């Protein structure tokens, strides 16, 4: 999984369906700092949607996303968060003549 500034929504697909009475929370681990995600939407019984906090997108990094259902962890997955400058760097490095490419963009 990868997310970037402007594209910070994550959709989590679950193995087992959620019931309406299930209590679900999402925690993002950013370098040992646990961030509780307050706005988690249930898209359907098998899918959750939330946004990665902006502070995780300031520099490129890996964060851990933990899903907790009724107090029990369903697991952790790593998500690569990219900063805009890192994305620009990768785009420019992919071209033989970055200056010419940037002139074409304008």
How confident is the chain (106 residues) per 10-residue block, as mean pLDDT? 65 95 95 92 95 85 94 94 75 83 77
pLDDT on residue 42: 95
pTM of the model: 0.73
The phi-psi region of residue 104 (left if phi > 0; otherwise alpha if psi is between -120 and 50; otherwise beta) is alpha
pLDDT on residue 100: 84
* 78 Cβ contact list (under 8 Å, min separation 6): 1, 62, 63, 64, 65
The CATH number linked to 44 is: 2.60.40.10
Which domain covers residue 21, as residue numbers?
2-105
The number of distinct structural domains making up the chain is: 1
> What kind and span of H or E run contains 99?
helix 98-105
pLDDT on residue 89: 74
pLDDT on residue 3: 54
pLDDT on residue 6: 56
């Amino acid at each position: 999984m990868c997310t970037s500034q402007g594209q910070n929504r994550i959709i989590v697909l679950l193995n087992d369906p959620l019931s309406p009475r299930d209590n679900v929370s999402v925690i993002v681990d950013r370098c040992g700092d646990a961030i509780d995600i307050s706005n988690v939407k249930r898209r359907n019984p098998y899918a959750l949607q939330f946004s990665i906090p902006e502070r995780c997108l300031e520099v490129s990094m890996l964060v851990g996303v933990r899903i907790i259902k009724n107090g029990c962890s369903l697991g952790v997955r790593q998500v690569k968060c990219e900063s805009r400058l890192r994305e620009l760097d990768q785009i420019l490095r992919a071209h033989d003549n970055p200056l010419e490419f940037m002139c074409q963009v304008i």
